[in-house]
Structure formats: C-alpha cells, structure tokens
C-alpha cells in the first residue's frame, strides 16, 4: 500500500476495485465504514454485489476480467472532459502523450460494451472522482489474479496519477495483502529476482554487497524460477529437489490435478510445516516447525508496518523454529551462521542489509510497529509514499495498457464464468481455521449462483449441484444469492472437497506468473 489503514477514517473518497474487504480484510473495512458515516463517498467496482457494493454511492458491476476496459474508459472521460490534475500530470509524470493516445482508443461506449457498465455510470464515476479529492484506491486479488494482472495494476496506478491522488494522506494505490506476511516475505527477498530490500540479484554491486555480508565467494547472478515454473520443472526433472515451507500447494494452486501430478513427480520433496497437509502427502522428508506464538519475530503488514510477533509457548514435541532448521541445513552444507534468534537475525542482518529497514530495530517496535521506508534509527517511519509527487524513478510513469479477455471465456459447453476468492469464516486451506472451531460458521463450500440462473436450471437453495470445468468437477451445495450476476458462479478454495481449484485454470500473467483464479469457464448442473 502506498498509504495506511490509519488514513481510512479521514478519507473523503474510496474507489474499491476487486476487493471484498468486509470478508477478506474485515477490520480495514470497519475504518472505511466509519469514514462513510462521516460523509465519505464510495465507488465499488466488482462483478459481485458483495457487502461493500451495498454501501456504495455508485456500484459498477463489471464483467469478470474487464477492469482495464472500464478504467481506460473512465480515464477517457476524465481526459476528454479536462477533469484530470494537469499540474500533477505535467510536472510529476512522464509518458502522458503515449498514454493518452492509448486511452483515446477507449471511448466510454467501447468501455461500456466490454465491461457491461453503462456510459452514463462511467461518466458519473469520472465526475465524482474529479470533484472529490483525494480518493484512496483500494484493490485486492480481483485486480491481480488475471492473465492481465500486471496491466490491471498499472491501470489503477494510471488512474491515480491522472487524478493527482498520489503522495498525500488518504490517497494512493492500496493493494490489501491477503496473508499476514506476504509483504514481509517479499521484503525479505523470498523472490527469485531480489535480495532482501528489493536489491536486484542481477546487479553486480548488490551481489558484491551480499557476498561480503554472507561471507561467500560468488552469489548466483541470474534471476531464479518463479513458483509455477519450479513446479512445472518437477515434471521434466529440471528441478530435482523442491523445498516447500509452510505452503499447501496441493490445494492452493490452480488445477489441483495438474499440481498433484507435479508434486508427485518430485525426486525429492522437503516439506516444513506445522501440520500434515495435502501437500506433505507427497513429501520425502517432513520437518516439524514452530508456529505462531512459538517463536519471536516480525510480520510486515500491507501498510509496510513491521510488527512484533511474540513467543508465548514452546513448540510441541520436537518441532523447531524455522530459522533454526535453515541454519542447521546451512551448517551441514559447510556454512556457520552467527545469528541465533529472530531478533538477532533482524537486528544484525536484515535491518543492516535492507536500506529501507535500516532504522527498524526490535527495541523500537515493542509497541506500535514502524512503517518502511525507515532508513535510520531517528526516522519515524513512513505512513504514505511518494510525498509531494516524488517517485522512486523521479516522476510517475504512465503505462499505456490494453484490455485483453481472460484466457478462457464461457462458451456453449461451459456457459458460466467461475470466479473465486476468500470467505469471511475460513482462511485458505483451513489448516488454521479448520482447527479453531470456525467450521461452525462455515461447514462446507458452496457454489454461489444468481437467482435467475437457479430458476432457469430449477436449482433450489442448498440443493447439490455439479460444477464442471475442462480440468475437473466438484459437487457442492448451491447458494442462491443476489451477490452474483446471472452467468457467474463464485466459489472459494477453503475446503479440499469442493475446492474451486479443482476447476481453476492454470494460466498466468506473463510477467508475474500470477494465475487467473478469477476467471475460467464452467458448467453447472443439478445432481
């Protein structure tokens, strides 16, 4: 997030696109609701009329995967009617002309045709965005989980640059992170192209810095594989050993049959986890790990805030802290690492090596955490980025992007579009919530379908239906709801039985290799 949760309550305006905040980030949504009570405006763009949509001043029910067409159409109106922030665009941004040329290809009529949102509403949204400033743009996986995910993100950034909604409180581009420490895992360099603190592995100076810090002769100089590539490489044996730490890939990745084929092809699979999972079934070695509450460390939240996590109990049996396990493997492979606890790793290594984290020390985050960038120990942390329109690259860069349809669209045989996500009462593959009594509130998966489709197909509430895609099929109860438009099925991936991932399509955004969980074609029939 460029901005912070603390700015929600004072925001004047929100544009929420592809975020089911009340279910996936419930506490964040309470601050948004508080702002609405104080008169803030809300525009919601989402294929589902989810709870946020019901609170919206304007709700745009776009078709699945039409985000760029909608946003380009919106920006077409903003540019053509001269409603954009000319000062910000001229002085703080680059590449406006090329961007404008692309936007001119998306008159609102075309945007309306692709997105299903009528021209009048697109204009209304443009006018509201132009008159109430700044607006916080929030998104979640509804933007990223598409084959056009990266371009979708660019498009949201284009809009905020155009409106000049950057570099000030209660503004910005704000992706809400789905898991407690996705932000932190990125910051730590658990990515194939960057060291901790986003220092590029292809940069010789960065490699030299880390070679010195880690006391090794030569660090690898090419970007590594991204997760889907790793898994595909298990099949052709290019990857012989696969180390899976705390991930239940057999349930979370698209097309479970494909994933399980890949996992079962591994010559040597190491799983490090707190529970046996569907993934550990394929392991050759399972290493039992300490969980939350059993180790001292930090999580970094969506708002770049580094927060303390504290040990209050010992791990069960012989389970060990994860950092210890990695250290012991390193030792057996010839390297002795000095740091011997979470706090030592952070204070002596992470915050020394990652410039944006340089000022964050355990002694400073006893209570409220600190938000990076925080370059030195006198720095108070940063609640919003790009202050006064000063960007990492100097100026903000407009990226002209084109709309493309999802990889698989409904046809005669598979006439519904399936979109997926999370539900309030469960979390991911239920390794945690399934063992905490939350099944009481959500005991099984459902296929959410519209009233019109249910009537047409003669499906009654809670009746069992079969949902089929080209990859597989599941049998679940039908949940008939006004949240879902005709022609759409919505499901989650919490339950192994009836998981949407038996159906989802393993196609990826070409740059990020994020899978298109939000769109594939399915058929629905009564059982």
Stretch that binds another protein, among 11-19, 156-164, 329-337, 410-418 (CB under 8 A): 329-337
Residue 317 engages another protein in binding (rule: CB under 8 A):
yes
CB 44 within 8 A of CB 60: yes
Shortest Cβ 144–another protein spacing (Å): 8
Shortest Cβ 397–another protein spacing (Å): 22
Shortest Cβ 65–another protein spacing (Å): 17
- If the CB atoms of residues 410 and 434 are measured against another protein, the closer one turns out to be 434
Report the residue from 15, 19, 33, 500 that binds another protein according to the rule CB under 8 A. Answer: 33
Pairing of the two strands 268-273 and 241-245: parallel
**Per-residue string for binding with another protein, 481-520, x by CB under 8 A?**
-------------------------------xxxx-----
Report the residue from 151, 253, 260, 278 that binds another protein according to the rule CB under 8 A. Answer: 253
142, two tokens: 């509804």
Residue 146 engages another protein in binding (rule: CB under 8 A):
no
Comparing CA positions, the residue from 64, 171, 175, 56 lying closest to residue 124 is: 56
Report the residue from 378, 394, 436, 458 that binds another protein according to the rule CB under 8 A. Answer: 436
Phi and psi, residue 257, nearest 5°:
-65, -40
Which residues on adjacent β-strands are paired with residue 132? none
Stretch that binds another protein, among 319-327, 394-402, 409-417, 447-455 (CB under 8 A): 319-327
Distance CA 17, CA 62 (A): 10
Shortest Cβ 99–another protein spacing (Å): 26
Comparing CA positions, the residue from 182, 210, 208, 211 lying closest to residue 196 is: 210
Estimate the share of the chain in helix, then strand, then coil, as percent rounded to the nearest 5: 35, 20, 45
190, two tokens: 């658990």
Stretch that binds another protein, among 103-111, 180-188, 389-397, 481-489 (CB under 8 A): 180-188
Distance CA 444, CA 423 (A): 11
Distance CA 418, CA 522 (A): 6
Residue 196 engages another protein in binding (rule: CB under 8 A):
yes
Q: Which residue is associated with the tokens 């996986």?
A: 141
Q: Is 307 exposed, middle or buried (0-12, 13-18, 19+ CB in 10 A)?
A: middle
Residue 148 engages another protein in binding (rule: CB under 8 A):
no
Shortest Cβ 9–another protein spacing (Å): 9
- If the CB atoms of residues 125 and 249 are measured against another protein, the closer one turns out to be 249
Restricting to residues 398-427, which ones interact with another protein according to CB under 8 A? 424-425, 427
Restricting to residues 354-373, which ones interact with another protein according to CB under 8 A? 367-369
Which residues on adjacent β-strands are paired with residue 44? 16, 59
Q: Which residue is associated with the tokens 């052709």?
A: 236
448, two tokens: 């959410």
Distance CA 519, CA 488 (A): 10
Report the residue from 195, 372, 384, 502 that binds another protein according to the rule CB under 8 A. Answer: 195
Shortest Cβ 343–another protein spacing (Å): 8
Residue 40 engages another protein in binding (rule: CB under 8 A):
no
**Per-residue string for binding with another protein, 263-282, x by CB under 8 A?**
----xx-x--xxxx------
Which residues on adjacent β-strands are paired with residue 91? none
Q: Which residue is associated with the tokens 């469960």?
A: 426
Report the residue from 27, 212, 393, 411 that binds another protein according to the rule CB under 8 A. Answer: 27
- If the CB atoms of residues 196 and 400 are measured against another protein, the closer one turns out to be 196
Shortest Cβ 215–another protein spacing (Å): 8
Which three-class secondary structure state does DSSP give residue 396? strand
Handedness of CA 176, 247, 272, 439 (dihedral sign): positive
Shortest Cβ 18–another protein spacing (Å): 15
Report the residue from 2, 50, 158, 298 that binds another protein according to the rule CB under 8 A. Answer: 298
DSSP secondary structure string for all residues of 37-84: HTT-EEEEE-SS--HHHHH-SEEE-PPTT-HHHHHHHHHHHHHHTT-S
**Per-residue string for binding with another protein, 222-251, x by CB under 8 A?**
xxxxxxx-x--x----xxxxxxxxxx-x--
Restricting to residues 437-476, which ones interact with another protein according to CB under 8 A? 437-438, 440-441
Report the residue from 90, 205, 212, 334 that binds another protein according to the rule CB under 8 A. Answer: 334
Q: Is 36 exposed, middle or buried (0-12, 13-18, 19+ CB in 10 A)?
A: middle
CB 13 within 8 A of CB 36: no
Report the residue from 203, 208, 328, 525 that binds another protein according to the rule CB under 8 A. Answer: 328
Q: Is 326 exposed, middle or buried (0-12, 13-18, 19+ CB in 10 A)?
A: middle
Report the residue from 18, 288, 406, 498 that binds another protein according to the rule CB under 8 A. Answer: 288
- If the CB atoms of residues 114 and 274 are measured against another protein, the closer one turns out to be 274
Report the residue from 92, 327, 386, 518 that binds another protein according to the rule CB under 8 A. Answer: 327
Restricting to residues 81-110, which ones interact with another protein according to CB under 8 A? none
């Amino acid at each position: 997030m460029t901005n912070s949760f603390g700015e929600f309550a004072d925001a004047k305006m929100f544009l929420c696109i592809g975020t089911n905040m009340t279910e996936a980030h419930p506490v964040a949504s309470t601050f948004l609701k508080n702002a609405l009570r104080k008169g803030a405006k809300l525009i919601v763009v989402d294929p589902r009329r989810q709870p946020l949509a019901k609170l919206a001043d304007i709700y745009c029910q776009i078709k699945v995967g039409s985000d760029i067409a909608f946003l380009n159409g919106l920006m077409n109106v903003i540019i053509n009617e001269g409603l954009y922030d000319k000062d910000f665009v001229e002085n703080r941004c680059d590449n406006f002309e090329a961007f404008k040329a692309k936007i001119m290809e998306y008159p609102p009529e075309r945007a309306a045709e692709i997105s299903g949102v009528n021209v009048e509403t697109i204009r209304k949204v443009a006018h509201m965005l132009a008159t109430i400033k700044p607006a916080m743009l929030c998104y979640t996986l509804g933007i990223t989980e598409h084959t056009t995910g990266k371009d979708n993100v660019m498009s949201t950034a284009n809009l905020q640059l155009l409106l000049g909604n950057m570099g000030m409180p209660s503004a910005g581009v704000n992706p809400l992170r789905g898991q407690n420490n996705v932000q932190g895992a990125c910051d730590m360099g658990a990515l194939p192209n960057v060291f901790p603190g986003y220092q590029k592995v292809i940069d010789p100076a960065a490699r030299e810095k880390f070679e010195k810090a880690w006391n090794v002769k030569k660090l690898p100089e090419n970007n590594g594989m991204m997760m889907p590539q790793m898994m595909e490489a298990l099949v052709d044996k290019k990857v012989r050993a696969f180390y899976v730490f705390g991930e239940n890939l057999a349930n979370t990745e698209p097309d479970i049959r494909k994933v399980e084929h890949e996992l079962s092809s591994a010559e040597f699979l190491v799983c490090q986890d707190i529970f046996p999972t569907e993934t550990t079934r394929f392991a050759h070695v399972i290493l039992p790990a300490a969980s939350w509450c059993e180790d001292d460390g930090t999580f970094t939240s969506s708002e770049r805030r580094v927060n303390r996590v504290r040990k209050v109990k010992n791990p069960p049996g012989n389970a060990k802290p994860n950092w210890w396990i990695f250290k012991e493997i390193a030792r057996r492979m010839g390297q002795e690492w000095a740091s011997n606890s979470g706090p030592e790793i952070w204070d002596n290594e992470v915050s020394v090596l990652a410039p944006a984290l340089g000022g964050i020390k355990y002694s400073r985050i006893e209570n409220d955490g600190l938000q990076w960038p925080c370059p030195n120990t006198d720095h108070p942390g940063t609640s919003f980025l790009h202050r006064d329109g000063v960007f990492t690259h100097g100026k903000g860069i407009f990226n002209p992007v084109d709309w493309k349809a999802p990889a698989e669209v409904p046809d005669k045989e598979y006439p519904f579009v399936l979109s997926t996500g999370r539900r309030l009462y469960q979390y991911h593959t239920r390794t945690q919530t399934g063992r905490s009594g939350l099944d009481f509130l959500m005991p099984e998966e459902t296929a959410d379908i519209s009233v019109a489709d249910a009537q047409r197909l003669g499906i009654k509430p809670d009746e069992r239906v079969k949902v089929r895609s080209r990859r597989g099929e599941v049998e679940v109860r039908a949940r008939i709801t006004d949240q879902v438009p005709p022609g759409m099925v919505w499901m989650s991936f919490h339950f192994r039985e009836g998981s949407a991932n038996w159906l989802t399509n393993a196609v990826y955004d070409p740059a990020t290799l994020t899978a298109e969980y939000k769109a594939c074609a399915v058929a629905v029939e009564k059982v």
